[in-house]
Amino acid sequence: MDIAVIGSGMAGLATAKILKDAGHNITIFEALSGRGMDSHSMEFEGGLIDAPLRVMNPHLWKNTLSLATHLGISTYPVRTYMACSWLFEDKTETWLTTSRSRIGNFPIINNRKGLQQYGWRLVKGMLQLKTAIAKFFKSKNQDITLAEFINNNDIEEVFWHGAVMPVLYTICTCDPKTIGEWPAKPLLVFLRQLTDGDALLRLQGGTPAFVDKLVQGINVKSGSPINCVKELDGKVLVQNEAGESYQFDKVVVATPTTKIESFLDAEQFADDIALLKKFRFEDGELVIHTDQSAMPPKRKDWAVLSYMMDRKFTRQQFTVWLNSIEPSLVGKSPIFQTWRPVVDIDPKKVISSVKLTRAVVDSDTIALNKELQERHKAADRKVYFCGSWSCDGLPILESAVTSAMKIAENFGAPLPFVGLKPKVEVAPQLGY
């Protein structure tokens, strides 16, 4: 069949690759001038900046890493560690730094103040969380929100709000005010698996290397925003803003649902539009910069992940130190990515500011996804929808690949990469 894929984020690229390998003719339409998945990647002093930076837990990103392995992309381990600092006082004070044990890769506190002032509170919180999670998965009522889970359990505040919630913000990249509305179960599954101790993995060559493999042999029409998708005479008409028209047997829409009304025929797809509009999304700003004020004031306290917050945990931001993750940036000027900064970043030190759209999960999401997947099973179905938002679990890169796999099932396309173990090479010398 001739199949159009609208959008070249992870879901669109994975769908296109799977269906092409199954023998279909694929055309990808992308509104941006490049590829959506790596559209914000760039060079800096000869090194690679991935925006956003992507590292993956092998327990939680199984399908994504399996797909990369199938495409011949190897990985290397990354030992993440963190620093937490109090903001909005006379001076910024780093109250916790961690490192990783050489055996087992478990996080350990490695600063005296963290041990003396917060060590017992953090250990107590860890034990309370483990008990609460075990109790939750034994209970009959697992359909509660994260906020309800917190209210139902007594967990040390500094541990929960100072260490656990920042990690969830990092993964989910959503507004801290809305994460409490999320179903607790996928977040607790994530936290439980995160403590297994395995090192995170990063793809050799970063996101651009992954995208290069995914688009091999596929016709990609970049700079081609779509303004019309309409079923016509047994085919699907796809028209872009340049006035070019194409006809396909099937179309897969792999964009956030906030964009669908701009091109789906309002009459033909009225029911789909009504369903898809119920999915929620948020925009956030990712600032790529060289401003060291976003890091702990003492260089010895710098960490891969630097969290800054006020003592009431009402304002927070996290910054990634790219040189400690990306080998091509070793020896270069320190460069950072800060998500939704709450402190002023020096405009003269800003390299790029990127708007990212992220799905928000709530109690209705599971039912919405179930309804969407049922609609896809209709025998006369010609237009499908996928994205990180369109399957259960956290709306991350893994969910995007999983959503592509669900589309493949509707087409009877094989999934030869499932279950492959990532190829892990020796870690390069990094900048920490």
Question: Across-strand partners of 264?
Answer: 229
CATH number of the domain at 2-42+205-279+363-411, please?
3.50.50.60
First-to-last alpha carbon distance for the chain, in angstroms, is: 50
Tokens of 57: 């837990």
Tokens of 123: 């250990």
pLDDT value of position 198 = 62
Contact present, 341 and 317 (Cβ < 8 Å): yes
Residue type for 207, please? Answer: T
Write down how long the chain is: 432
pLDDT tens track for 225-279: 999 999 999 999 999 999 999 999 999 999 999 989 999 999 999 999 999 999 9
Work out the widest C-alpha separation in the chain, in whole angstroms: 73
List the one residue out of 352, 237, 229, 245 whose CA is nearest residue 289: 352
pLDDT value of position 110 = 67
pLDDT value of position 337 = 96
Question: Across-strand partners of 283?
Answer: 357
Residue 354 Cα distances to 202, 343, 375, 429, angstroms: 21, 17, 34, 28
HSE-CB at 292 with a 13 A cutoff on CA atoms is: 10
pLDDT value of position 364 = 85
Domain ranges of the chain: 2-42+205-279+363-411, 62-203+282-359
Dihedrals φ, ψ of 291, to 5°? -80, 110
Second-level CATH architecture of 62-203+282-359 = Alpha-Beta Complex (3.90)
Q: Exposed, middle or buried, 45 (CB in 10 Å: 0-12/13-18/19+)?
A: exposed
Tell me the mean pLDDT per 10 residues along the chain, length 432: 97 97 97 88 90 87 96 90 84 80 56 72 87 92 90 91 83 76 86 68 93 95 96 96 96 94 96 95 92 92 91 89 91 93 94 89 88 95 96 85 96 96 80 51
pLDDT value of position 29 = 97
Chain centroid to Cα 313, Å, comes to: 23
pLDDT value of position 214 = 97
pLDDT value of position 257 = 93
Contact present, 431 and 329 (Cβ < 8 Å): yes
pLDDT value of position 101 = 54
pLDDT tens track for 327-362: 999 889 999 999 989 889 999 999 999 998 888 888
- Torsion angle of alpha carbons 32, 36, 42, 47, nearest 10°? -160
Residue type for 142, please? Answer: Q
pLDDT value of position 329 = 92
HSE-CB at 229 with a 13 A cutoff on CA atoms is: 27
